[in-house]
Amino acid sequence: MKIEENKELKALNTFGIEAKAKNYVRIDSFEDAQAFFKQKEYEEPILILGGGSNILLTEDFNGTVINNHIKGIEGIEENDKSITLKVGAGENWHEFVLHCIEQGYAGIENLSLIPGKVGASPMQNIGAYGVEVKEVITEVECLRLADAEKMIFTNEECQFDYRSSIFKTTHKGQYFITSVSFKLNKKPTFKVSYGAIQAQLLANGVDQDHLSIKAISDAVIQIRQSKLPDPKEIGNSGSFFKNPIVSKEKFLSLKKRFKDMPAYELPQGGYKLAAGWLIEKAGWKGYTERNYGVHKKQALVLVNYGGASGNEIYNLSERILQSIIQKFGVELEREVNVV
């Protein structure tokens, strides 16, 4: 493995932030990864990078960036109803989704067009349009950074939650994910309860009798392309904040003041509010300063129109966060990993 020095990271993060890594290494196989972590001949700290679509770089990285390129899709269990696939952490997520659709394997079609790599999917339990990846993950294979031991975490052990898992909480920074296993259905149950999906299917002329995982994927792709900025054109990391969860009392007092406030009652108690709605209501939608700001169509997405620094974007996120506390008494949490 070749360690590159002074590596430019602009093309490796979807925010398009200009930053350099003191050292950079690309890892292509489990064996290479194990040898690399065993030999410990790298400079710390380390930053594990997938597709760079959920990070905000606020400065040059004064350590080693390790970019995961471990590929491969392998069937490990199959019967009439389902198939379990073990997928290299360096596979592109959306290409994997398309592969499953082509093969007729259902379960992740609603997660079409999410940027990034398979290895990051369990990190924050990626989710969209009524589906979370925790519903299909059976296990996550990792290397423990401390001793390069191979470790397997079952679905339960990952403690998946809304945009969270042990890899983002208790075990943060301790593991290098090498592969993820997914159990997919050969007999699909379609998840189309989201109004936007129903409307798009209708517009595409797809009725109940012609519903398919391909039709759902196509609809999700169309919706996402119409309202989210393409990182190839405008730098961004998708939703910058998580949707906040508040108590029933808090929800009721807000609902009295803001009659049109959307909210979702959680089965375990509490209410999930729409962070994008709060930010828009506070007047931030479309806000632009110099060459960065808040996206015109989606207030939850902070954007870099070119040349903004990570610190400028971070400071804007802090101002938004404070204004939401002031206006609604609700504290937003960043979804993006700030480095």
Ligand X SMILES: Cc1cc2nc3c(=O)[nH]c(=O)nc-3n(C[C@H](O)[C@H](O)[C@H](O)COP(=O)(O)OP(=O)(O)OC[C@H]3O[C@@H](n4cnc5c(N)ncnc54)[C@H](O)[C@@H]3O)c2cc1C
Taking CB under 6 A as the criterion, which residues in 217-236 touch ligand X? Answer: 228, 231, 236
CB of 240 to ligand X, least distance (A): 10
Q: Tell me whether residue 239 is one of the annotated catalytic residues.
A: yes
Of 29-37, 43-51, 189-197, 200-208, the segment contacting ligand X by CB under 6 A is 43-51
Contacts 24+ apart (CB under 8 A), 206-209: none
Residue 48 touches ligand X, criterion: CB under 6 A: yes
Number of residues that bind ligand X (CB under 6 A): 33
Nearest to ligand X of 236, 317 (CB atom): 236
* Identity of the residue numbered 250: K
Among 100, 128, 246, 320, binds ligand X (CB under 6 A): 128
Quick check: 49 binds ligand X (CB under 6 A)?
Answer: yes
Q: How far is the CB of 227 from ligand X (least distance, A)?
A: 10
Q: How far apart are CA 146 and CA 167, in angstroms?
A: 15
Backbone angles phi, psi at 298, to 5 degrees: -145, 105
Q: Does 238 bind ligand X (CB under 6 A)?
A: yes
309 is catalytic: no
Q: Does 276 bind ligand X (CB under 6 A)?
A: no
The single residue of 91, 109, 112, 163 carrying the catalytic annotation is 163
Locus of tokens 């379609």: 190
- Residue 101 or 336: the one with the smaller Cβ distance to ligand X is 336
Options 65, 87, 120, 273; binder of ligand X; rule CB under 6 A = 120
| Furthest-apart CA atoms within the chain: distance in Å | 60
Subset of 143-202 contacting ligand X (CB under 6 A): 175-177
Q: By CB under 6 A, which span of 44-52, 152-160, 279-287, 322-330 interacts with ligand X?
A: 44-52
Considering only 20-28, 97-105, 122-130, 197-205, which stretch makes contact with ligand X by CB under 6 A?
A: 122-130
Determine how β-strand 20-27 pairs with β-strand 61-68: parallel
Q: Is 163 a catalytic residue?
A: yes
Site for ligand X contains 337 (CB under 6 A): yes
Q: Which is nearer to ligand X, 101 or 121 (CB)?
A: 121
The least CB distance from residue 63 to ligand X, in Å, is 12
304 touches ligand X (CB under 6 A): no
Of 127, 244, 276, 310, the residue at the interface with ligand X (CB under 6 A) is 127
Q: How far apart, in whole angstroms, are the C-alpha atoms of residue 257 and residue 234?
A: 35
Q: Which residues of 86-97 are buried (b: 16+ CB within 10 A; e: fewer)?
A: bbbbbbbbbebb
Residues 4-23 that bind ligand X (CB under 6 A): 14
What is the Cα–Cα distance from 158 to 176, expressed in whole angstroms? Answer: 14
Decide if residue 237 touches ligand X (CB under 6 A).
yes
Q: How far is the CB of 275 from ligand X (least distance, A)?
A: 13
Which position among 16, 88, 107, 119 is part of the footprint of ligand X (CB under 6 A)? 119
Kindly list the residues in this chain that would bind ligand X in the complex (CB under 6 A).
14, 47-55, 68, 89, 114-117, 119-121, 123-124, 126-128, 175-177, 228, 231, 236-238, 337
Q: Which residues are catalytic, by number?
A: 163, 239, 335
